[in-house]
Amino acid sequence: MSSIKSLALLALATGFASVVNAAETGKTTRYWDCCKGSCSWPGKAAVSAPVTTCDKSDNPLTDANTASACDGGSAYMCSDQSPWAVSDTLAYGFAATNIAGGSEESWCCSCYKLTFTTTSIAGKTMIVQSTNTGGDLGSNQFDIAIPGGGTGIFNACTDEYNAPSSGWGAQYGGISTNTCSSFPKALQAGCGFRFDWFEGADNPEVEFERVECPAEIVAKSGCKRDDDGQQLKFAAAAASSSPVAASSASSSSPVAASSTEAAPVVSSAAEVTSAASSTSEATTSSEASVSSAAAYKAPVADSSAVESSAAPYTAPAVESSAIESSAAAYTPTTPIVSSYSAVEVSSTSLSSATAPSSTGSSEDGPCNVQYVYEYDL
């Protein structure tokens, strides 16, 4: 009765998995040019609204058609589109992207889970929303928006913040040491992210897959794709190890738990099997009961009078039709588990106990399983 299909269904039913996309490999770089992002223009994709832009004083603009400051207009990148740490191992942010096989229509305002595979931050995870693209980006490249990361082709930071003529640091790569305290106050936290959570990593490689955008990211960009709800739901709690200090998460909007991020994510059928096997020993699924020939530890009778004074016993599970009402020996008709460990029982006059039955389903139809525990007093 047990199969990968049934275990996958069990995992989905109990919140252990959700639909997944195959991970791809890519690379990251960094930039901050202060310009209006490409996905801030109307009509780029099926979204709730284009990515929010700000004026020179960092106030949100309401006209999505305002020209970019990099083209002589007055629309700039908002400072709150800087990255921030959610925990020691998880961060959120934004990026200019170029995804192989796609276009702005498919990636504008899409969110991607980046799992770093190289440098000192290998194993850490970052969720970024695509807010821009670039003619200088290669295939499957994520140019993460980090203040002080280099301006690249364009530069509106000199106009907006009186930055040096080529921006802060090198045109590509930006500053090489932590001089973030000299940056405009609105950009200091985002700049410091690179030397704190990001550990100064230089263009680490990643495995990436599209996920549903966390509410915290959408709250900053103002952009949500129409198909966003169809994407894999990423569980922040599953990737987080511990909360970070408030100083490393000084973003303009608080980080709050999203109602759509309730279930841990499993990225393969093998992980689904692992997740299903990690359920408690008191699971009520008959599918899980037969998935392994390992020893089963029978639960201790739930009574205040129970004491540890019984010898090991063998009590194979049987179909309900074979159960007798007396405490006499019986012949099991359908053994389910090959062995049991010793159980502690009461020294009182309890002669037998019947565990609650559980009803499961499989490809062969309903299956009623009832465990009978018999104690030799």
pLDDT digits (tens, 9 = 90+) for 119-131: 999 999 999 999 9
Q: Region 22-26: what's the mean pLDDT?
A: 90
Q: Please indicate, yes or no, whether residues 206 and 349 belong to a single structural domain of this protein.
A: no
Q: Please indicate, yes or no, whether residues 56 and 141 belong to a single structural domain of this protein.
A: yes
The number of residues making up the chain comes to 377
Q: Region 266-284: what's the mean pLDDT?
A: 38
Residue 345 lies in a domain: yes
Q: Please indicate, yes or no, whether residues 298 and 238 belong to a single structural domain of this protein.
A: no
Residue 273 lies in a domain: no
User: Of the residues 265, 289, 313, which one is the last residue of a structural domain?
Assistant: 265
User: Of the residues 239, 265, 291, which one is the last residue of a structural domain?
Assistant: 265
Q: Any bridge partners for residue 97, and if so which?
A: 142
Residue 296 lies in a domain: yes
Q: Region 290-296: what's the mean pLDDT?
A: 38
Other Cβ atoms within 10 Å of 124 Cβ, number: 24
Q: Please indicate, yes or no, whether residues 294 and 199 belong to a single structural domain of this protein.
A: no
| Residue-range definition of the domain harbouring residue 226 | 24-265
pLDDT for residue 2 is more than 80:
no
What's the pLDDT score for residue 358?
42
User: Of the residues 237, 265, 293, which one is the last residue of a structural domain?
Assistant: 265
Report the catalytic residues.
33
What's the pLDDT score for residue 11?
47
Q: Pairing relation of β-strands 352-354 and 205-211?
A: unpaired
- The answer to whether the pTM exceeds 0.75 is no
Residue 128 lies in a domain: yes
Residue 83 lies in a domain: yes
Q: Please indicate, yes or no, whether residues 261 and 284 belong to a single structural domain of this protein.
A: no
What's the pLDDT score for residue 257?
34
Residue 349 lies in a domain: yes
Q: Please indicate, yes or no, whether residues 306 and 190 belong to a single structural domain of this protein.
A: no
| CA-to-CA dists, residue 260 to 35, 117, 126, 257, angstroms | 32, 27, 18, 9
Q: Please indicate, yes or no, whether residues 204 and 328 belong to a single structural domain of this protein.
A: no
Quote the number of domains for the chain.
Answer: 2
Least confident of 71-85, 136-150, 161-175, 346-360: 346-360
Q: Please indicate, yes or no, whether residues 60 and 178 belong to a single structural domain of this protein.
A: yes
What's the pLDDT score for residue 239?
58
Q: Please indicate, yes or no, whether residues 374 and 226 belong to a single structural domain of this protein.
A: no
Q: Please indicate, yes or no, whether residues 244 and 295 belong to a single structural domain of this protein.
A: no
Other Cβ atoms within 10 Å of 24 Cβ, number: 15
Q: Which residue has the tokens 């007093």?
A: 377
Q: Which residue has the tokens 């990211």?
A: 217
Q: Please indicate, yes or no, whether residues 261 and 295 belong to a single structural domain of this protein.
A: no
